Structures are given as C-alpha cells and as structure tokens.
Amino acid sequence: MFWDRTLYQHPEFKQGARHLAPQAVGQIPWALMTGVALVNSGLSLFESVFMTLMVYAGSAQLAATPLIMAGAPAWVVLITAFCVNLRFVVFSLHMRGYLMHLSRFRRIMMGYYNTDLSYVLFTQRFAHPASSAPDRLAQEAFFAGMNFAYWTGWMTFCLIGIGLANAIPPAWGLGFAGILCLLAIQCSLASSRLRVLSAIVAGAVAVLSYALPLKLNIVLAIAVAVVACLMAEQLKALKASDA
C-alpha cells in the first residue's frame, strides 16, 4: 500500500494525490463533524480516537456508534456496519479486474484504504484495467496516491473534530450533524425510483419495528426493503411483458 516504496516512489503516486486533493476538500467538514459526532454520541475520548484510526469508515462509524451506546450485541453492530458499507461490496466487484493480479494481502490493503471518492475518480480515469505489468503498477500507484491523500486528510480533520468535541457541550445537539451527513449520503444514493422505494420502506419498517430488541429493527428494515424492491422489479418486468 502507500508505505510500499515501489508505489510511493512511482510518479503516478504524486499524480493520484494531486488529482484527489482538490476534490476531497469538501469532505473536510464531514471529517470534522464525524469526530465531533463520535464523542457526542457517548464514546470516550480514547474509544473515539481508536475507532477513527482503526475503522476508517465515516458513515459506518456514525451508524454503529448509537448501536454500541444502546448496548446492542456485537453482531448487530457489525451487520449494520457491513450493510452501511455494502456500496463498497459493489465497488469491490468493479475493482476486481484491476486488482486480481496482486497478492491477497495487497488486494485487501487496497480495499481497506478505498473510499467513495477514490473509487469514483479511479474508475473515471482508468476505464479499463491495464494490460501490461508497468501500466498495472502505474494504476496501482495512482490509486495508492489518492488513498494516501484521502487517508491523511481524513485522519487529520477527524482527530481535530474529536479534540474540538470536548469543547462543545452535548446539549447543543451538534451530534445531529452526523445524522444530516448520513441523510445527505442517503439522498446521493437515491438515483432511481426503486432506490427511493427502498429508503421509504426501510425507514417505515425501522420506525414501526423500533420496539424490537437488539436494534433488530435495522436488519429487518434492510431485509424487507430489499425484498420489496426485488418484488417491485418483478412486477415492473411483468407489466412490461404484458404491454
């Protein structure tokens, strides 16, 4: 990954970092507010720092933290985080062709440091996996450079946010910024009618089944929403074949 000399000494590494940096500036307040929200949700200072350094997944952290504080069992927290991260599962399907020539360890490191932004920018710039070894290395270095820039910026501002959070009383309700951030990401995912349906169904089911123990309402909501959307797809297909 980015501590690998063959990557960070490659000219494409710098290119990648330079390509990403200006586009990532908009993410700075998000990193700050993630740090603030972690502390305000009730994690201790050490837990907040530890989570930031280890997990490196803003929306999953924001989704998991209230569950941890509510005393939900670990598997519910982990499944929720996995589900919030499912978009990355889809990205990994796309990235597979670019990375399969690497060792498993390197692939996992590439995956761990991937972000929404670097995935989008990478696949925009390289529409196809390289076919020669030097080109593959260049792509890998570019990707690593972007991830290095993002990781450094994210960690810096998230940790600053954690530091600032202690100066901000929880009663102000600034933790709500974390919810607004998730709401914005949710809106950005609402790219089709069926996805909007998914959001509506999941939101409704999560509220209606809120009384379920172990925060199971979230897992139930995801399952019902996915099934509802698959059924709606089938209905649409049936109607189309009738017409």
Partner 1 sequence: MSGIEANITDVWTLLVIVGLAVITAVSRSFFFLSNREWHLPHWAQRGLQYAPIAALSAVVVPEIVMTQGELIATWQDARIFAAAVGVAVYFAKRNVLLTIVFGMGVYLPLHLGLGW
Q: Print the binding letters for residues 10-29 with partner 1: x by CB under 8 A, - otherwise.
A: ----------------xx-x
By CB under 8 A, residue 218 contacts partner 1: yes
**x-or-dash string of contact with partner 1, 163-202, rule CB under 8 A:** -------x-xxx-xx-xxxxxxxxxxxx---xx--xxxxx
> Between residues 160 and 182, which has the closer beta carbon with respect to partner 1?
182
Beta carbon nearer to partner 1, 81 or 130: 81
Residues 39-78 that bind partner 1 (CB under 8 A): 42-47, 50-51, 54-57, 59-61, 63-64, 66, 68-69, 74, 77-78
Could you say which of 12, 13, 16, 30 contacts partner 1 (CB under 8 A)?
A: 30
**SS3 for the chain, per residue?**
CCCCHHHHCCHHHHHHHHHHHHHHHHHHHHHHHHHHHHHHCCCCHHHHHHHHHHHCCHHHHHHHHHHHHCCCCHHHHHHHHHHHCHHHHHHHHHHHHHHCCCCHHHHHHHHHCCCHHHHHHHHHHCCCCCCCHHHHHHHHHHHHHHHHHHHHHHHHHHHHHHHHHCCCCHHHCCCHHHHHHHHHHHHHHCCCHHHHHHHHHHHHHHHHCCCCHHHHHHHHHHHHHHHHHHHHHHHHHHHHHHC
Q: Which is nearer to partner 1, 17 or 57 (CB)?
A: 57
User: 25 or 127: whose CB is closer to partner 1?
Assistant: 25
- 14 or 164, CB closer to partner 1? 164
Q: Report in angstroms how near the CB of residue 12 gets to partner 1 at its nearest.
A: 21
Q: How big is the site for partner 1, counted in residues (CB under 8 A)?
A: 95
* Least spacing, CB of residue 11 vs partner 1, in Å: 26
